[in-house]
Structure 1
Amino acid sequence: MNGNAARGAGKRLAEPHRTPAPAAGPERATILLVDDEAEILTALTDLLEDGFDVVSTTRPEEALRMLAGGLSPAVILSDQRMPGLTGDAFLERARAYSDAEALLLTGYAELDAVVGAVNRGRIAGYASKPWEPAALLAMVTAARDRHGLRRALETERALLRGLLDNLPDELSFKDAEGRFLRLNAAKAATLGAPLQACLGRREAEFLDAAAAARLARAERAALVEGAVSELEERHGPEGMPHWMQVSRVSLGGGVLVTIARDVTEARQMESRLRQADKMQALGTMAGGVAHDFNNLLTAILGSLQLAERRVGEEEAGLRRLLRNATMAAERGSALTRRLLAFSRQNELALRAVSVNRLILGMGDLLARTLGGTVVVRRELAAHPGTAMVDPGQLELALLNLCINARDAMPGGGTITLSTANAALGPEEVPELAAGSYVRVSVADTGTGMPPEVLARVFEPFFTTKEVGKGTGLGLSMVYGLVRQSGGGMTIDSAPGEGTRVTLYLPAGEAEVAREGGEAQDAPMAQDPVRVLVVDDDATVREVTAGFLSELGHETVEAEDGQSALHVLENDPSVRLMVADFAMPRMTGAELSERARAMRPDLPILLVTGYAELAALAANIPVLHKPYRQAELAEQVAALLG
């Protein structure tokens, strides 16, 4: 190259120069060329531009500015002797901005300068001028490959480091002798030692003899089989069991990786789901049993009521026996109502309820459920207001709270049920607006709860009871009932001081009439009619027909839906139909639809032992078994009125 060409080339390359990248294809590595002679840069670019994106400059200071500005080359090829800044000094300063492989190029045989450049700039290669093209290209290509491998290795190390530092599972790597090569903080915490103190030591050193023997067997099996997974039970400091899914995989060369994952919550959830399935099945069974009981009780109570009316006044002893039998059957009726409340899944039926009367009515139930080691006391306000609540669900909630209280007193104790009126101000009770409430409390003299347990008691499925002794649904269900009723709930407890659960229920406006009680005389029908009685249970059908006959009505009976339709088709004098809901082949609801199609003006009354009929028989009144004659008379009068 002549002098004019050299000067022209030097002028052209005074600013950074980039060769254009190909229009398509994989991303290529970038190489930064630094040489104060423009002719050298041109020759190097011609040699390297087919395999690299080339960026070149004649000024080392400009190269440093480019690196500081974000240029990320895989290789830096620099001349050694340049005015102002030598190659070794430039490469040393470039390390502050770039991890590129550094190559030195010089035309001078200065061994000291080369040694200094290697030491200070971490030079990966050295070539002399004039260079042999194939050798220089091979050196630059090898440097690019080393840079790519180093970056890939750093990425893998960063991923492993991030995994070790942040993985909640216990992770460890061991050599063939069982010594820790790597482990994360979760594993070190389980061993109770700092992470660095565990490296190079065997895990067996941190375990008792039995646990160390089990570990040795498990690790030998993994080294032989390649991969082993097992479930381990551990006990934490608080004594609660923890289940760990431990997987051991042999990586070859005697290296063993172990991952232990806490699956306690998953196992508890699985157990809770099984328990929930059992509870659902139990609820279904309870509904069916209650229905059958209600049929029996309808026949028993109805027959007793009819028999009592036919006993003369002089037979006082027999009348007393009949009334005792009636009272026993009424208690059976109360039991079926509780079973139906347990099995029911419909919306709450809020109404004004006397909480005092409800608690007093639970006496027998609590006595049988809680056992003889628990004393139940009642501190009921003289004249508490009524509460707007579903009585069946409130009874179930109080029973649940009493069972929890009993379980908190394994050696026996006292449960106190109390009621009072409460006029609350704003924010006096969390989540409750100011207003009038009825306060119902269940207090025990049990073990109490520490703050960390108290903070979680409303969580669904949370329980401190042993497996099989609790679902963890009790308090969350009580809380749900109270909130759906528009009320609130508080819990006060401390270790050794017992627990008090207080329900705040919205006050009602008027007290409801007592359920059950003495039988009332039903008024005779003012306008007797012919009534079709439909029931597949002959005893229930006989009682219902007997009630109606005593009221003055004329009855005709049918044992199923098809027979009832036949009567309606051939007997236009029938003015009313009383039908059971649960019958084989044709339900009472289906019979009602077909009867309405035949006789649109026919009044219909459905009777049932189930609790969820309202949504199944629209616009048809429902009478629940067991019913008294007065209740039947009231419904019939309303339909005929």
Structure 2
Amino acid sequence: MAAIGLGAFEDDARFRLLVSAITDYAIYLLEPDGTVASWNTGAERMKGYAADDVIGRHFSLFYSAEDRAAGLPQAALATALSEGTFTAEGLRQRRDGTRFPVHVTLHPIRDADGVHVGFAKITRDLTPQRRAEEALRESEQQFRLLVQGVVDYAIYLLDPTGRVVNWNAGAERIKGYSADEIVGRHFSLFYPQDDRLAGAPDRNLRRALDEGRYEEEGWRVRKDGSTFFAAVVIDPIHDSAGRHIGFGKVTRDITERRENQAQLEAARADLFQAQKMEAVGQLTGGMAHDFNNLLMVISSSLELLRRRLDPADAAAARLVENASRAAERGSSLTSRMLAFARRQDMQRRLVDPGTLVRGMAELLNHSVGPSVTVEMRLPLRLPSIIADPHQLESSILNLAVNARDAMPAGGTMVVSTEPRVLEAGNAHGLPAGTYVAMAVSDTGTGMDAQTLARAVDPFFTTKGVGKGSGLGLSMVHGFAEQLGGMLLLASSTGAGTTATILLPVAQDTRLGGKSPRGDHDAPAAANALKVLAVDDDYLVLMNVTTMLEDLGHEVIEAGSAADALAALADGKPIDLVITDHAMPKMTGAEMIAALREDHPAMPIILASGYADIPGGPPPGVVRLSKPFSQGALAAAISEALGKQARVEWR
């Protein structure tokens, strides 16, 4: 076998230096039979042989025994010679016996006459590339496992037209489709019908492509037809050349979060409403108290004036009567204001709600008129409640009048009572227990949601100017809450309204059933008393003094609690004290506590324009609500004297 002539290469020393300096490729020559004729630095580094160790040996040395036995080295030479080149990838063997992946190229070499004189062999170690490919495969596998393992998010790919390419476990859990059921189908399947008809799916893909991303929150449809509220992100996907190849889509079910947010916003609105109502209640209670003082002066003055009128002066009597009726209407208005503010004075007693409502049947029929049919649905027995029967009757009558006004063309009003058990954590926020529900339902016009939301707001009315104070439902609402219950309203436009007073069943049945004091004619005093009258409002004090003197009593006036205590300290003989509660610096209740230290048996009447007395009135003290008549004052004096033995002061 002729040796390869190297004269041409020896003439080009620079080329030899270049080949020898290459370290990333094994570049060497073979004789026609495959014997190694040259060896560069890259070959030494890659295969582990020095030039002296390998030149003159057959290149099959680099193949495994199995490949040599299969004739692969000879086949490579033959292919290169016959086809002009041989290219392949496979495993080769280093000097230390380890095997590594390679890319091999064999080119036949011919001299100027075309005679085959050997082969040029180039080998590239593919180990780094294979390691990178394996790392990429592992990374892709881990990513697939990661995406597939996510169950809280639907993560999947779409082709450029919007058809589903793959499907993760989260998508199956959220949307209800398995991969076999959905892959290949268009993603518009997840949109509600109205959105599909409006072209929303394709429009969203276009926006993602045009803007680089599309995000939205909206309703989507599951396989079973149910809907859920979703947060959606669509990202366009491009290959390394920048070509658009599809979309990445991530969907999250945020229905629960949305519901929680709605509940939080509702709670905030309720808190704001409660704070607003509390502020309005405080303002209303204060206004009512001041107004009651004014009414006290007006009504008592009219009562005293009536007693002094000439019976023959009918015109004057009529004017006084009209003014008295106006004062009574004002008193009724302040009563409603105080009921709304939950500060009205209540004469609480044990009440059988069934008997009370049954006894109102005739009154209700007369109040609503012949165009309204009244149906009473009352069980034979109901548990008792603690309430002020007069104010409960007034509340039910108020609801009945509202029902009548909602049926201008007539209709049916149903008055019903029933026991109702509320569990802990009920929707009304009331303590668990048994309640009595007293409902008035009508077949009238009903209320829309906006009107219903404001129905118990003070001074809100739909009856027009001069036809309602806007305090009716507010009064019932405040009355029920003051007794530990509430007013429930259910209504919709055209479907009528049901108003329900819910009051807790009485736990303590020992409360007496004595009726509250009525406004009867003032009796003459059996014994003239020396009365200490205390009020910071001079007009009120003057009229109280006049009424007491008209009853035959002697009055000592005090414009403050301090003046009253000073009068008592002077040792003046006093048989009874009547005091206002809401006074500056020292309230009536505080004054009573102070005077009790030296005068424990003193009969006392505590008058107030509202019932907001912390802890209630002191023990043994008679409560008198403003405005009061001379008859109510006389009855309170009799009650106070009955509670405390008369003390002679000397």
Q: TM-score range by the shorter chain?
A: 0.5 to 0.7
**Percent identical:** 28
Q: Does 1:549 align with 2:539?
A: no
TM-score (norm 1): 0.53
**Separation in structure 2 between the aligned mates of residue 207 and residue 575 of structure 1, nearest angstrom:** 85
Q: Which amino acid aligns with 1:442?
A: V
User: Is the Cα contact below 8 Å between 1:222 and 1:248 reproduced in 2?
Assistant: no
- Say how many residue pairs are matched: 468
Query: How far 1:210 moved relative to its partner?
Result: 8.2
Query: How far 1:376 moved relative to its partner?
Result: 5.4
1:73-472 matches, within 5 Å, as 132=98, 152-153=142-143, 156-164=146-154, 197-199=185-187, 207=195, 223=211, 262=258, 263-344=261-342, 349-352=348-351, 354-355=356-357, 378=374, 388-391=385-388, 394=392, 398=396, 413-414=410-411, 416=413, 418=415, 431=421, 442-446=440-444, 465-467=448-450, 469-470=452-453
Query: How far 1:283 moved relative to its partner?
Result: 2.3
Instruction: Name the SS of the counterpart of 1:613 in structure 2.
Output: coil
User: Is the Cα contact below 8 Å between 2:162 and 2:186 reproduced in 1?
Assistant: no
Show CA shifts across 1:162-208 (max 9, x none). 4339xxxxxx988999888879589979xxxx976442789799638
User: Is the Cα contact below 8 Å between 1:178 and 1:202 reproduced in 2?
Assistant: no
2:82 is matched with: none
**Separation in structure 1 between the aligned mates of residue 400 and residue 228 of structure 2, nearest angstrom:** 31
User: Is the Cα contact below 8 Å between 2:437 and 2:502 reproduced in 1?
Assistant: yes
Instruction: Name the SS of the counterpart of 1:577 in structure 2.
Output: strand
Mean Cα deviation higher: 298-307 or 338-347: 338-347
Q: Does 1:539 align with 2:539?
A: yes
**Separation in structure 2 between the aligned mates of residue 579 and residue 377 of structure 1, nearest angstrom:** 49
Show CA shifts across 1:244-294 (max 9, x none). 896869799786757665354444444333333332233223222221222
**Separation in structure 2 between the aligned mates of residue 466 and residue 150 of structure 1, nearest angstrom:** 55
CA RMSD of aligned residues (A): 6.4
Q: Does 1:581 align with 2:598?
A: no
1:624 is matched with: 625
Q: Which amino acid aligns with 2:613?
A: L
Change (3 A) 1:326 1:131: farther
Q: Does 1:638 align with 2:639?
A: yes
**Separation in structure 2 between the aligned mates of residue 440 and residue 174 of structure 1, nearest angstrom:** 60
Show CA shifts across 1:538-579 (max 9, x none). 221112111211222211212222332332333532333221
Change (3 A) 1:220 1:149: closer
**Separation in structure 2 between the aligned mates of residue 247 and residue 346 of structure 1, nearest angstrom:** 56
Query: How far 1:401 moved relative to its partner?
Result: 5.6
Query: How far 1:607 moved relative to its partner?
Result: 0.7
Show CA shifts across 1:88-145 (max 9, x none). xxxxxxxxxxxxxxxxxx9978999xxxxxxxxxxxx99999974999x999999998
Query: How far 1:522 moved relative to its partner?
Result: 2.4
Show CA shifts across 1:229-251 (max 9, x none). 89x8x999xxxxx9989686979
Instruction: Name the SS of the counterpart of 1:161 in structure 2.
Output: coil
Q: Which amino acid aligns with 2:443?
A: T
Mean Cα deviation higher: 540-549 or 245-254: 245-254
Unaligned runs of 5+ in 2: 1-63, 71-89, 102-126, 222-226, 239-246, 423-434, 458-472, 646-650
**Separation in structure 2 between the aligned mates of residue 160 and residue 570 of structure 1, nearest angstrom:** 88
Q: Which amino acid aligns with 1:344?
A: R
Larger of the two Rg values belongs to structure: 2
Q: Which amino acid aligns with 1:207?
A: D
**Separation in structure 2 between the aligned mates of residue 523 and residue 217 of structure 1, nearest angstrom:** 94
**Separation in structure 1 between the aligned mates of residue 415 and residue 603 of structure 2, nearest angstrom:** 46
Mean Cα deviation higher: 333-342 or 309-318: 309-318
TM-score (norm 2): 0.52
**Separation in structure 2 between the aligned mates of residue 440 and residue 541 of structure 1, nearest angstrom:** 42
Instruction: Name the SS of the counterpart of 1:573 in structure 2.
Output: coil
Query: How far 1:608 moved relative to its partner?
Result: 0.4
User: Is the Cα contact below 8 Å between 2:350 and 2:386 reproduced in 1?
Assistant: yes
**Separation in structure 2 between the aligned mates of residue 318 and residue 277 of structure 1, nearest angstrom:** 48
Instruction: Name the SS of the counterpart of 1:470 in structure 2.
Output: helix
Mean Cα deviation higher: 616-625 or 138-147: 138-147
